[in-house]
Amino acid sequence: MARTLITNVQVIDCSGDPPFAGEVLVDGARIAAVSRAAGELPRESATILDGKGRTLMPGLVESHAHLSINNVDDLAELGRIPPEEHTLLTMHNARLYMDHGITSCISAASAKPRLDVVIRNAIEAGEIPGPRLLAASPWLTVTGGLGDLRTLHMPHVESMALVVDGPEAYRQVTRELIREGVDIIKLVVSGDSFVPHAGSETTVMSEAEVAAAAEVVHAHGKRMSAHARSAESVKRCVRHGVKVIYHANFADGEALDLLEEHKEHVFISPNVGFTVIAAYEGSAWFSEEQVQAMGFREELAGAARVVGELKKRGVRVLGGGDYGFGLTPHGNNARDLDHFVKYLGYSPLEALLTMTRDGGQAMDRPDELGQIRAGFLADLLLVDGDPLADLRMLTDRDKLVMIMKDGQFHKKPAG
């Protein structure tokens, strides 16, 4: 197996400890050793890579990936893309994520039922470059929920959602999607500011529907994620074993208590990127009147309140999410780290942990992903600069002078 010794680097190991000067030995797909002093690790049969004082850190974990969305603002446009072209689009985005140092992804919905599955399989087979991927279903929504673009006079409008009503229908569709190979069933349990007559504080999916999907998911040993902004939607998710809950920005005291009670099993991914941009940088997309009418600043304030409570209670919070829209294009995912500092009260290192150590735990690989430790998989980034001084540099792929996944170079340092 190939051995690479990375020397002369500042190591952010993402264990929670401060950075240190050291070196790291990679043997095959894994990290063989980490040293806090120069010259301690064996040089024999290893290729020496001089980091020139740069920062070595783990690859990023995106907790809310939409690889099959093409920076689009119209969900109906996704439904009009033929599956062949859509597969190529998704493959392109998988490589783009690797180019930006994202080496693992938890999908938060596929635009068509098998897109994630096909791309995951091709990545695992080494046929295409891309992050390791947990493949998701499309959104499973109810009539009138997020993603249901139909009207009575146009009953066949497609988006990235499957519209399902009633417990028996949820059992059947969940079984079908698991048969097709998904890792994650994605539920749309609450409304959203973009949904007429079903805003973010509305719970649109019934308890029986969530329970029916959960029954099938747990029986097959799979996992669920959910769009859940309202307080009641969060409670339904926790009660039925949803692993990653997206948004949760209107969680009330009872919901927070439930999350704390189940903190060993559940993760919250607030996905504030879209909300921040819409609220404060989105004048090309939204007028001030629209910002106020859609309550983007209130949603951001709610997220800050909820995340602050979750942080105090020890509930794990994940960074990243909802990139791939016109307002939040692919490749800018690491901007969420800066949002965590500016809007959610995190230190730079705490923010970085949400897309490394905690992301590895959310991938169900806490002893393999998200940290630089002996025995972990060698998913490594060599950064030209100090990310903790300016987390926004992680959105600049020119700053990523080396990208490694499973001990293999996706990008080699120049020279």
Question: Which two tokens mark 404?
Answer: 């490694």
Using CA atoms, how far apart are residues 261 and 295, in angstroms rounded to an integer? 30
Average pLDDT over residues 84-111: 98
Q: What is the pLDDT of residue 228?
A: 97
Question: Which two tokens mark 28?
Answer: 């095959």
Average pLDDT over residues 222-241: 98
pLDDT over threshold 80, residue 98: yes
Average pLDDT over residues 16-40: 96
Q: Which domains does the chain have, with CATH numbers?
A: 3-59+368-411 (2.30.40.10), 60-333 (3.20.20.140)
**End-to-end Cα distance, the chain:** 22
Torsion, CA 67, CA 73, CA 79, CA 83, rounded to 10 = -40
pLDDT tens-place string over residues 116-138: 999 999 999 999 999 999 999 99
Question: Which two tokens mark 78?
Answer: 């996704």
pLDDT tens-place string over residues 44-83: 999 999 999 999 999 999 999 999 999 988 888 999 999 9
pLDDT over threshold 90, residue 39: no
pLDDT tens-place string over residues 348-402: 999 999 999 999 999 999 999 999 999 999 999 999 999 999 999 999 999 999 9
Q: What percent of the chain is predicted at pLDDT more than 90?
A: 85
Contact 250/239 with Cβ under 8 angstroms? no
Q: What is the pLDDT of residue 1?
A: 66
Residue 10's DSSP bridge partners are 21, 55
Residue type at 128? I
Q: What is the pLDDT of residue 299?
A: 86
Q: What is the pLDDT of residue 396?
A: 96
Q: Which long-range contacts does 289-298 make (Cβ < 8 Å, 24+ apart)?
A: 294/193, 294/194, 295/193, 295/199, 295/200, 296/193
Q: What is the pLDDT of residue 345?
A: 95
Average pLDDT over residues 129-156: 95
Q: Quickly count: other Cβ atoms within 10 Å of residue 19's Cβ.
A: 18
In the three-class reduction of DSSP (H, G, I as helix; E, B as strand; rest coil), residue 325 is classed as: strand
pLDDT over threshold 80, residue 415: no
The overall average pLDDT reported for the chain is 95
Average pLDDT over residues 165-190: 98
Using CA atoms, how far apart are residues 328 and 197, in angstroms rounded to an integer? 25
Q: What is the pLDDT of residue 264?
A: 97
Question: Which two tokens mark 219?
Answer: 């029986």
Residue of 274, 385, 291, 391 lying closest to 342 (CA atoms): 391
Q: What is the pLDDT of residue 258?
A: 98
